[in-house]
Copies of this chain bind each other. A is one copy, B any other.
Amino acid sequence: MADYPPFAVTADLVVLTVRADELHVLLVRRGVPPYEGRWALPGGFVGIDEDLVDAAVRELTEETGLPQPAGHLEQLGTYGRPSRDPRGRVVTVAWLALLPDLPTPVAGSDAAAADWVPVNRLDRARLAFDHGRILADGLERARAKLEYTALATAFCPPEFTVAQLRAVYETVWDTALDPRNFHRKVTGTPGFVEPAGRSTEGGRGRPARLFRRGPATLLHPPMLRPSART
């Protein structure tokens, strides 16, 4: 055990949010080689006595500047091609975070040039390291999980309308959904959302009831995306 091959281990984050009807990912501009000046996923080295998930949470709070994010965090996968980092053998554990649109702009202590970038207007091939592949995997994971889990509420503030939740689905899936069938489906699935009792004010049209996320994590039956028809 004394002589095992020594690896560096990092935690990288695919942080997604929905703002202005576009899906955004949190990226940082690299200030040092390699890939100087290129966009990269936020992340950093795991401490020798630090748990993997703790490193991910630490990076997330550092980069977003939020004390305790209200969203969702899960492990995405581990990437360790020997040539993926020119500096040496670095294995990265990638994490997927889904956050509500943050009222505060991103101003992390660590990342000077962090910013939200719309995923549809981003050339993934130009990201540093293998981060284009990691981002693609994160997007596919997020899109798939909206189908059979209640995770779409992780993109919403504590209280939200059915239309806001529908906008999340439409933005992440890049499709249009029937507002009436969506409403029936969401309110008819036990535990998906719970009425908050209040309503919106001051908008155009009839005021909408506000909801909170419910206790359900899995959706039975799932929410089907139109592209997945039979």
Residues of A within 8 A of B (CB): 1, 4-9, 45-52, 75, 77-82, 87-91, 93, 148, 220-221, 228-230
Contact, CB under 8 Å: B81 / A78:
no
Residues of B within 8 A of A75 (CB): 77-78
* Top 3 A-B pairs, shortest CB-CB distance: A5-B48, A6-B6, A4-B8
Whether B230 and A89, one on each chain, are in contact in the complex, defined by CB atoms closer than 8 angstroms, is no
B89, A48: Cβ atoms closer than 8 Å: yes
**Closest-CB distance, A87 to chain B (whole angstroms):** 4
B52 touches A91 (CB 8 A): yes
Residues of B within 8 Å of A8, CB to CB, are 1, 4-7
Q: Are A45 and B4 in contact (CB under 8 A)?
A: yes
Q: How far is the CA of A46 from the CA of B80 in the complex (A)?
A: 10
A154 to B229, CA, bound (A): 25
CB within 8 Å for A80 and B230 given contacts A1-B87, A89-B48: no
Chain B residues in 8 Å Cβ range of A4: 8, 45, 88, 90
With a cutoff of 8 Å between Cβ atoms, the chain B residues found around residue A229 in the complex are: 220
Contact between B80 and A5, CB atoms less than 8 A apart: no
A82: B residues at CB distance < 8 A: 48-51
CB-CB < 8 A to A6: which residues of B? 6-8, 48
A150 → B minimal CB distance (Å): 15
Q: How far is the CA of A90 from the CA of B228 in the complex (A)?
A: 41
Report yes or no: A45 in contact with B5, Cβ–Cβ below 8 A.
yes
Query: Nearest chain B CB to A122's CB is how many angstroms away?
Result: 25
Q: Which residues of the other chain, B, contact A45 by a CB distance below 8 angstroms?
A: 4-5
A192 to chain B, nearest CB (A): 13
